[in-house]
C-alpha cells in the first residue's frame, strides 16, 4: 500500500464539482488572472497553446447565459464563469512561440524556425474536425490545472459541457476561429458537492 499523501493528492481528492455557490462573492480579477497564468504551464500539442479564455464576472452577463446553459443555476450564482475557448487558428502564433523558445535559449534559432514551419504546416492543413479534437484535448489539460489550482486557492468549480455552443458563440460575439470548449463556473461553495464514485482501478487498468 502506498500511503504517502502529497498535497497534490489531497487537492485532487478535494476537487469535486460544486453546483451551489455563495452568491455575491467577488473574486478579484487579479486572482483570476493569476489562476489562468499559472495554469498555462499545462502541456499542449506542439506547444501551440490553443486555449483562450473569456471570464464573465458581470452578474447580468452571467444571468443572460442561464438559458444558453440550460438554466444550470451555477452559471448565475458562482463568482465568475470561465469560458475555455479553443483557437482554431492557433498555428498563427507558431513563430511567436518558437522564437520565444529560441530567445530564452531553449533551442537554437534554426531549430525554432523548423519547428514553427512544421507546426504551421501540420495544423494549417488539418481538417477542422481533427483540429477541434486537438484543441479540445489541450483545453481539457489546462482546465484540469485551473480546477486544481482553484481548489488550492480555496475556490470550487464545476466543468460544464452542457450549454449551447452555437448560441454561446453568437451571444458573446466569438470570432469564427474561436470554439467554446467548456464553461467553468468558479466561486465559494455554499454547499458541498455530492460524492461521486469511481470505477475500481482493476476495472480500468491493465499492464502488458
Ligand X SMILES: Cc1cc2nc3c(=O)[nH]c(=O)nc-3n(C[C@H](O)[C@H](O)[C@H](O)COP(=O)(O)O)c2cc1C
Beta carbon nearer to ligand X, 19 or 52:
19
Could you tell me which stretch among 13-21, 49-57, 77-85, 119-127 binds ligand X (CB under 6 A)? 13-21
Q: How far is the CB of 29 from ligand X (least distance, A)?
A: 25
Count of positions (residues) in the chain:
208
Could you tell me which stretch among 24-32, 35-43, 158-166, 200-208 binds ligand X (CB under 6 A)? 158-166
Beta carbon nearer to ligand X, 108 or 161:
161
Q: How far is the CB of 196 from ligand X (least distance, A)?
A: 4
Beta carbon nearer to ligand X, 27 or 160:
160
Query: How far is 185 from 147, CA to CA, in rounded Å?
Result: 10
> Applying CB under 6 A, does 75 fall inside the site for ligand X?
no
Could you tell me which stretch among 14-22, 32-40, 100-108, 171-179 binds ligand X (CB under 6 A)? 14-22
> Applying CB under 6 A, does 72 fall inside the site for ligand X?
yes
Taking CB atoms, the residue at the shortest distance from ligand X is 162
Could you tell me which stretch among 12-20, 51-59, 75-83, 102-110 binds ligand X (CB under 6 A)? 12-20
Which residues 189-208 are close enough to bind ligand X by CB under 6 A? 193, 196
Beta bridge partners of 180: 85
Query: How far is 42 from 55, CA to CA, in rounded Å?
Result: 19
Candidates 28, 43, 67, 161; binder of ligand X (CB under 6 A) is 161
**Could you tell me if 33 and 146 are in contact, meaning their C-beta atoms sit under 8 angstroms apart?**
no
Nearest to 168 by CA among 89, 27, 56, 74: 56
State the Cα angle at 121 between 119 and 122, rounded to 5°: 65
State the Cα angle at 57 between 52 and 58, rounded to 5°: 130
> Applying CB under 6 A, does 187 fall inside the site for ligand X?
no
**Could you tell me if 40 and 70 are in contact, meaning their C-beta atoms sit under 8 angstroms apart?**
no
**Could you tell me if 54 and 192 are in contact, meaning their C-beta atoms sit under 8 angstroms apart?**
no
Q: How far is the CB of 162 from ligand X (least distance, A)?
A: 3
Query: How far is 180 from 51, CA to CA, in rounded Å?
Result: 10
Q: Which three cell numbers stand for residue 174?
A: 466569438
> Applying CB under 6 A, does 19 fall inside the site for ligand X?
yes
**Residue numbers at the binding site for ligand X (CB under 6 A):** 16-17, 19, 72, 158-162, 193, 196
Amino acid at each position: 500500500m502506498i500511503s504517502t499523501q502529497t498535497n497534490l493528492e489531497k487537492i485532487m481528492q478535494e476537487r469535486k464539482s460544486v453546483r451551489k455557490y455563495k452568491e455575491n462573492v467577488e473574486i478579484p480579477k487579479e486572482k483570476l488572472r493569476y489562476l489562468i497564468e499559472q495554469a498555462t504551464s499545462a502541456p499542449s500539442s506542439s506547444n501551440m497553446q490553443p486555449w483562450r479564455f473569456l471570464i464573465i464576472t458581470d452578474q447580468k452577463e452571467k444571468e443572460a447565459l442561464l438559458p444558453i446553459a440550460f438554466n444550470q443555476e451555477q452559471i448565475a450564482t458562482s463568482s465568475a464563469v470561465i469560458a475555455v475557448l479553443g483557437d482554431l487558428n492557433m498555428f498563427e502564433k507558431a513563430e511567436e512561440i518558437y522564437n520565444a523558445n529560441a530567445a530564452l535559449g531553449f533551442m537554437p534559432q534554426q531549430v525554432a524556425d523548423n519547428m514553427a514551419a512544421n507546426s504551421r504546416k501540420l495544423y494549417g492543413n488539418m481538417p477542422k474536425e481533427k483540429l477541434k479534437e486537438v484543441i479540445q484535448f489541450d483545453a481539457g489539460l489546462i482546465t484540469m490545472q485551473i480546477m486544481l489550482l482553484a481548489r488550492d486557492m480555496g475556490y470550487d468549480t464545476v466543468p460544464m459541457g452542457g450549454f449551447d455552443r452555437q448560441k454561446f458563440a453568437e451571444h458573446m460575439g466569438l470570432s469564427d476561429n474561436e470554439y467554446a470548449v467548456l464553461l467553468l463556473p468558479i466561486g465559494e461553495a455554499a454547499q458541498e458537492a455530492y460524492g461521486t464514485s469511481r470505477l475500481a482501478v482493476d476495472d480500468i487498468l491493465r499492464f502488458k
